[in-house]
Every structure is written in C-alpha cells, then in structure tokens.
C-alpha cells in the first residue's frame, strides 16, 4: 500500500509504502529510502515500533544528520581526506565530517527522492546517480528492494551498475530500540557479533588497521550489554558471501524482542548513537550497519569496493524479528 506522505520545498511529492506480513508492519519512504517504522510484537503480545523515526517529512528535512533509517550511498561510512584514487585518477569529494567524507557527501542517497515500484511482498526503489554527483565518477543506476518474508523478516536487496569505474558501498542506517522507540537508552540490550577482529580508528574515526577483539571492549562474540561509546567497524568472520549469513543478534530482556542480522557484506558498523541530539536522546537506539569497511577506496588490503562497467553490484541484508519467552 502506498500513500502521499508530504511534499518537498521544490514541490516534489514524497510517498510512503506500508508492508505487512508475518505479524510485522514496515513503512518505507520514497525520500531517502527511509525505513520510517518497524512494528513488531513483544513477549506480552503488544506491538511496538522498534526503529527511530519521525512522524512528519519536515522533521527529516530539519534533522538530516542522524540519517534515521536512511539508505546510504554512494559510499557508506568515511573516506579519509575526502578523496581517493582509481585507475590513476584522483577524485575529490565534499568533506562533510571534519577532514573526511561521510555517507556519500553533502547530499547523499539519504536526501534524494527515489521512484517506487510495487513488487511481491514489498517495494523496489530506484534512481540514477549521474556522473560526478558528490564527486563520484560514473553514472550509477541503483535499485533497492525492500520485502517482508513470510515470517516478517525485512529483506533489503541492493543492486547497482555503472558506465565508468567507481566505488560503491551501500547500507541502511536504522537505529534499533527493541523496547520501543522513545522508551529510553538502548545500551542495556544484549548484543552478539560474529567477529574476532575489528578496525581500530584514529581521532577522525578512520581505520588504522585490523586488530583482534580478544581481551578488549570490542569482544561481542558472546552476548553482553551493548553499552555506549562505539562507532566502529567489525570484521565479520564470514567475510563476503554470496548469500546472507547471520552475523549479529540484539536482544531486549525486558520485552523479549530479538533482532537478528544476516548479510552478504564483510563488515558491520556498530554505532551506539552517543551523539544524537535535538529531538533524539543520546543512546536512544543502536545502529547495526552492514557494509564494506570505512575508507576501503584508500586501503587496498581491505575488501574491494570498486565497481566497473559490465559488473553488477549486489548485496543483501536481512533483519529478522522474534520473541524470546
């Protein structure tokens, strides 16, 4: 089901799609590919919205910084110095996070209007990012499909093709609070991540290499409270896979709600939302962003993010919901 959600200042209409299946209801916006809400039942049978979002389009326009629920591209996470080299050419990007480029530049995919097309059990959003948009090379045609499985799992599939060599890293930036959005800090949720390594960062949150999690506060191989103070990429044990594999679990003991994350991606960015402000409280949700590593275009030892003509970028992430009695 789709409905008119609002209008941008330039007159462009924005639509909202509602998906409902398996006891789960999800709302997707054509603006920014935003996952506005995910309603799931708890142990007591009561339904709650478990992602942070706004009720009105104007709130998203006025508060773009948290990237609430948004589709992120062309390059999710950070690119050091706002530049990278590809095939002997250097590309300069807007520096939007100190000296670095964050989440695609000044106006990334999260601030674009996407064309929605219904598909079985979901919606397909598409747009063409022209050559040079935010400094990135190549005309990139992107399609992102949101569907609900029979059990209510939210499946997000990404595809992209280009007419010139470029770099691509796409993700969804939902913040989860399994006790319900607005219920308070989510740091008490129990988190497990299947990663024996992570990428330490410098003061600008750019990776300095790869390190073991053993004996550090980054060891989530056994479930424990998520806590605070994280904006770090975890090197998933499974690496890049053709099919989505489970890599993380988030559990709220109070409501009994469980979130599982499965992905084809090699990395998972854990962000405990310590810097939320304005209408949102610090720590109000936990972002689990499936993606390639930060600054991969400048780090040849990391899994590659280069896409060339004739190739198809494909990625899939599945958010599953259940209840623990």
CB 173 within 8 A of CB 289: yes
> What tens-digit pLDDT sequence spans the chain (325 residues)?
899 999 999 999 999 999 999 999 999 999 999 999 999 999 999 999 999 999 999 999 999 999 999 999 999 999 999 999 999 999 999 999 999 999 999 999 999 999 999 999 999 999 999 999 999 999 999 999 999 999 999 999 999 999 999 999 999 999 999 999 999 999 999 999 999 999 999 999 999 999 999 999 999 999 999 999 999 999 999 999 999 999 999 999 999 999 999 999 999 999 999 999 888 999 999 999 999 999 999 999 999 999 999 999 999 999 999 999 8
Q: Which residue has the tokens 């002997």?
A: 88
To the query of whether residue 289 is one of the catalytic residues in this protein, the response is yes
- The CATH number of the domain where 165 resides is what? 2.70.98.10
Catalytic choice (39, 249, 265, 289): 289
63 is in an annotated binding site: no
Which domain range does residue 164 map to? 2-323
pTM: 0.97
CB 198 within 8 A of CB 234: yes
Query: Using CB atoms within 10 A of its CB, is residue 55 exposed (0-12), middle (13-18) or buried (19+)?
Result: exposed
Cα–Cα distance, 156 to 154 (Å, whole number): 7
- The closest of 317, 111, 105, 270 to 175, measured between CA atoms, is 270
Query: How many domains in the chain?
Result: 1
Catalytic choice (133, 134, 173, 292): 173
4 is in an annotated binding site: no
To the query of whether residue 173 is one of the catalytic residues in this protein, the response is yes
């Amino acid at each position: 089901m789709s409905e008119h959600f609002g209008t941008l200042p330039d007159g462009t209409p924005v639509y909202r799609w509602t998906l409902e299946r398996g006891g789960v209801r999800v709302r997707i916006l054509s603006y920014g590919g935003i996952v506005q809400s995910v309603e799931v039942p708890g142990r007591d049978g009561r339904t709650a919205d478990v992602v942070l979002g706004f009720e009105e389009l104007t709130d998203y326009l006025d508060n773009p910084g948290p990237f609430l629920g948004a589709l992120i591209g062309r390059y999710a996470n950070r690119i050091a110095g706002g530049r990278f080299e590809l095939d002997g050419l250097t590309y300069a990007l807007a520096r939007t996070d100190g000296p670095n480029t964050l989440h695609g530049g000044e106006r990334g995919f999260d601030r674009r209007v996407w064309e929605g097309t219904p598909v079985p059990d979901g919606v397909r959003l598409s747009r063409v990012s022209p050559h040079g948009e935010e400094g990135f090379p190549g005309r990139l045609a992107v399609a992102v499909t949101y569907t609900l499985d029979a059990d209510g799992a939210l499946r997000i599939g990404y595809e992209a093709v280009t007419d010139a060599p470029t770099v691509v890293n796409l993700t969804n930036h939902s913040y989860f609070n399994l006790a319900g959005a607005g219920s308070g800090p989510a740091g008490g949720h129990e988190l497990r991540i299947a990663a024996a390594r992570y990428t330490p960062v410098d003061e600008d949150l750019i990776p300095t290499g790869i390190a073991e999690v053993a004996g550090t506060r980054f060891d989530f191989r056994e479930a424990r409270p998520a806590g605070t103070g994280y904006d770090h990429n975890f090197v998933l044990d499974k690496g890049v896979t053709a099919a989505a594999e489970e890599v993380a679990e988030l559990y709220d003991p109070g409501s009994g709600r469980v979130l599982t994350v499965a992905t084809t991606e090699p990395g998972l960015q854990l962000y405990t939302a310590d810097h939320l402000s304005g209408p949102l409280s610090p720590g109000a949700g936990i972002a689990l962003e499936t993606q390639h590593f930060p600054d991969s275009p400048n780090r040849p030892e990391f899994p590659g993010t280069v896409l060339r003509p004739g190739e198809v970028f494909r990625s899939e992430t599945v958010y599953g919901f259940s209840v623990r009695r």
